[in-house]
Amino acid sequence: MPDKIVRFLDISCYRNFKGWITDKNNLNPVFVASFKHPNENKAIDMYGKIYPLDFTDRSLFNEIVGYLIANALEIPQPKYACIALIPTQDIAENDNIGFSDSVLGKKFFDNEFYPIFCTSKIDKSETAFEYHTRSKKLIDELAKWSHIGDTIAMDNTIAHVDRHMGNLLRTGKAKYHVIDNDMLVCKYDTYGYGWLTSDLDVDKKYKNQLFDIAKDLMPQKEFVKIRSSMIHECHKHSNAIASINNEVNNWMNSIYSSNSSDYIEFLDFLNKRADNAFEQVTSRVELLI
């Protein structure tokens, strides 16, 4: 049996805390920590994101699904994604942002160990330079990214409603990695709750922020190319999602066994949207074929 794409790292893989990326006001705080990954000889730095473990919060599941689909479609993203157990005491000793005062922090520190979602840290030296989000120069460059069309098409199928430009990590000239898949189907409210099964509509045109940026702000000739790429790439979705079903089911049984019916319904929703991806994309781009 092949190794999982999203690996589980037990507490023995944790090395040390490196520093916070966000402050306590972020709904789901992010930090950098070092881990021993089974595919690497030396410990590596990873971004860790803390999510609630409430059965109504879908963040962790969404992250797993989004990473697996992007991997199946060969869309650039961090090299590794993991669910890692970390010692909460080590975070407490480095809590200089007041995380313990937040609602999530109180739940987090009630546990000796806590599972978090991790992705490989990309060296800042690879990002070349930073643009102000939505600057014309950045948007014009993004239009030339070779994966812009397939990323928009993927987001259309998985109902990613929060892929704004801040969820693209620039790794060089016209090169980007996709990150952050925690908001599928709907955005979270103040309490962090995600989709309900009643929100799952196979035929709905969910918000697609990158498509709106391409349509409204990118040069018309580039947008025409992007539309064509979306239509071409969506034919891969059915096989891509079928290829991840086993791993998603394994994670569902590991994490969500007590309310797996919701996640089984979500997986069925994804498979049906993938099977209908061509019709959905052509409808969104208002193209009759």
pLDDT above 90 for 205: yes
**What is the average pLDDT across 187-196?**
73
CB count in 10 Å sphere of residue 104: 21
User: How many Å apart are CA 61 and CA 266, to the nearest integer?
Assistant: 10
What pLDDT is attached to residue 82? 98
B/e letters for 215-244, b = 16+ CB within 10 Å, e = fewer, are beebeeebbebbbebbbebbebbbebbeeb
Percent over 90 (pLDDT), the chain: 76
| Nearest-10 crossing angle of helices 220-233, 148-158 | 60
| Closest residue by Cα to residue 240 from 274, 197, 278 | 274
The pLDDT assigned to 289 comes to: 46
Q: Are 184 and 160 in contact (CB under 8 A)?
A: yes
* Average of per-residue pLDDT values in the chain: 91
DSSP 165: G
Residue 163 has pLDDT above 70, yes or no: yes
pLDDT over 60 (residue 18): yes
For the segment 233-249, what is each residue's pLDDT rounded down to a tens digit? 999 999 999 999 999 99
Q: What pLDDT, in 10s, does the model give residues 248-278?
A: 999 999 998 878 899 999 999 999 999 999 9
Asked if 115 and 82 count as a contact pair (C-beta separation under 8 A), the reply is: no
Within 10 angstroms of residue 27's Cβ, the number of other Cβ atoms is 18
Give the pLDDT band of residue 1 (cuts 50, 70, 90).
very low
Note the pLDDT of residue 165: 87
